Homo-oligomer: A and B are copies of this chain.
């Protein structure tokens, strides 16, 4: 089993002394034994604060310490002359300090002091991996990089080499939590908390070496499937007792388990609604079983009517999460975290912010992102998502002067893009999304383009000009993808089921609540209070009015919030129709340019990397052409209006 080292392949360090004890200090020692050495006159020491005196820069470090402390995960780096000290309160801080050193050492010059603390305490990757491959979804639901690295042949992998390599990659970017199985917990996976505990325990031990807590997705109906009970009613004492006992056995195997993730009453998964109970009843019952062990329930808010009638204009999927959970705000136990997808639909290339992220007041919540490129090119197309995530994290939930999403959230969760392909992510360049996700979860203010530079420098041995060109090819690829796919925030013009490639009407008459309502006169979803579904009213002012008014609504979300005629003029001065044509021609041309520019530098990369990226970009060009032409033709057939610039739109 050979696999890519990703961004941990080439770093070098000088000799390092360690003044710390404990398991994670041991991990760092083991890391250091495998790290290539560079001759250097700087003397590096890693220490926990309790042993700061053993280092030469104790005073400088003391002076740098924040008044409110470093916390478990923070660290200080001080360099003065030939001395460099990384100090942390605890093992995890030291581990992150070590990876900081590994990342930046070769770039460090002069004296400096850095204090690093993560913005958000829980930074999680969720694996939609199935213990037994699903007949439709396969080994990894929405996975585009081969099979699962955790499960094979219906059980946990026995050789944990690759799991350890993964844990190391994650720790190096600050990830401290991993959900190992799919939120859609089918029969086999339901038994992870029983039959497979010994194996789960072994896997948890590997992640523990890197400061990562594992979580398990559980089946709300597990008491029915695994015991003689004929109910999973959360208010039934027998159910609560069953879960308490089950949790006890899980913690016997994994004493530091993070907790459970639950997808309940969502897309046909079981939940408390079957018993007339609400989400807080369900979540709190599990939370109370977990509380003695300091475990947490991550309860997903991806709840909506997935058997909607397209004829029914009064139901709006975008409203669903808010409508379900805001009435319950304040009813959840402290160890419940509501897990909220960033948008009210489902990980589209562009959508509005979920109003829950601003409006939940009494309940801890997690922001959920998607690193796996379900709707954003499936690691066939290059789509660097850093800029999109940064927009999301920095979104001002008050509409001006208020807290950002990153400031309000208590955790950041994202669906992993990793599988057992030799390069982990199918598209070699998709590794950058994994990297950027971890770094942004740690520091939501980080600049996505700088992160690309970091990632590229750590990943490839190349000169600065080549790196700059590669970064330039990648940097805007999310907006390029947006341009050649569904326009102006309308979303869901994808092939049903697979979600790759265009199908403008693919979800138009479906049961999934995903419509664009295009007709001969116009397009878009009226979500206004005045004439539509009223979704805009879920936002506070001034956001509500901003979205409600067709002239103040941001162009990129216009069709998410409004149904407008094709000749409606955008803030950018173009009609909606001409904007659709223009962006689709532009998006395709940008992919052409990406491919051309890549080919000019491709030979500077190793043949495997070169061929992988070339083939994927060539495929992306085909895909962009399909998107361009199908979207343009679709709207031309509807509107009858030709392109103002006379470019080819097929009849």
Contact = CB atoms under 8 A, between A and B. Distances in A.
Contacts of A630: 509
A519 B638 contact: yes
Interface in A15-48: none
A520 B311 contact: no
- Dominant SS at the A interface? loop
A629 B519 contact: no
A382 interface: no
Nearest to A519: B637
**Residue among A502, A506, A520, A630 with max Cβ neighbours from chain B (10 Å):** A520
Contact of A629 (B311, B505, B629, B633): B311
Given A505-B504, A505-B505, A509-B502, A519 B311 contact: no
A521 B636 CA distance: 11
A640 B639 CA distance: 11
Interface string A623-651: 00010011001001111100000000011
A518 B637 contact: yes
A100 interface: no
A313 interface: yes
Contacts of A519: 636-638, 640, 651
A74 to B, nearest CB: 51
B518 A651 contact: no
Nearest to A563: B651
Contacts of A626: 509
A520 B577 CA distance: 15
A517 interface: yes
Contacts of A651: 313, 517, 519
Chain A interface bracket (under 10, 10 to 19, 20 to 34, 35 or more): 20 to 34
A636 B640 CA distance: 15
Nearest to A502: B509
A640 B565 CA distance: 14
Contacts of A313: 651
Interface string A505-517: 1101100000001
Contact of A520 (B502, B509, B639): B639
Nearest to A629: B311
A135 to B, nearest CB: 9
Nearest to A641: B520
A520 B650 contact: no
A294 to B, nearest CB: 45
25 contacts: A311-B629, A311-B650, A313-B651, A502-B509, A503-B505, A503-B506, A504-B505, A505-B505, A505-B506, A505-B508, A509-B626, A509-B630, A509-B633, A518-B637, A519-B636, A519-B637, A519-B638, A519-B640, A520-B520, A520-B638, A520-B639, A520-B640, A521-B640, A637-B638, A638-B638
Contacts of A521: 640
Q: Which 6 A-B pairs rank lowest in CB-CB distance, beginning with the nearest?
A: A519-B637, A505-B505, A520-B520, A311-B650, A509-B630, A520-B640
Contacts of A638: 519-520, 637-638
A502 B638 CA distance: 20
Contacts of A637: 518-520, 638
Contacts of A650: 310-311
A315 to B, nearest CB: 14
Interface string A288-318: 0000000000000000000000110100000
Given A503-B509, A519-B638, 9 more contacts: A503-B505, A503-B506, A505-B505, A518-B637, A520-B637, A520-B638, A520-B639, A520-B640, A521-B640
Interface string A238-279: 000000000000000000000000000000000000000000
A464 to B, nearest CB: 43
A233 B504 CA distance: 43
Interface in A415-439: none
Interface in A179-217: none
A505 B506 CA distance: 8
A584 B548 CA distance: 38
A110 to B, nearest CB: 59
Contacts of A629: 311
A482 to B, nearest CB: 20
A503 B504 CA distance: 12
Contacts of A518: 637
A457 to B, nearest CB: 42
A521 B638 CA distance: 9
A629 B508 CA distance: 12
Contacts of A505: 503-506, 508
A112 to B, nearest CB: 57
Nearest to A631: B509
Nearest to A495: B496
A17 B5 CA distance: 85
Contacts of A508: 505
A521 B641 CA distance: 12
Nearest to A650: B311
A646 to B, nearest CB: 17
A650 B313 CA distance: 10
Interface string A420-464: 000000000000000000000000000000000000000000000
**Residue among A313, A504, A508, A626 with max Cβ neighbours from chain B (10 Å):** A508
A611 B462 CA distance: 71
Interface in A578-631: 626, 629-630
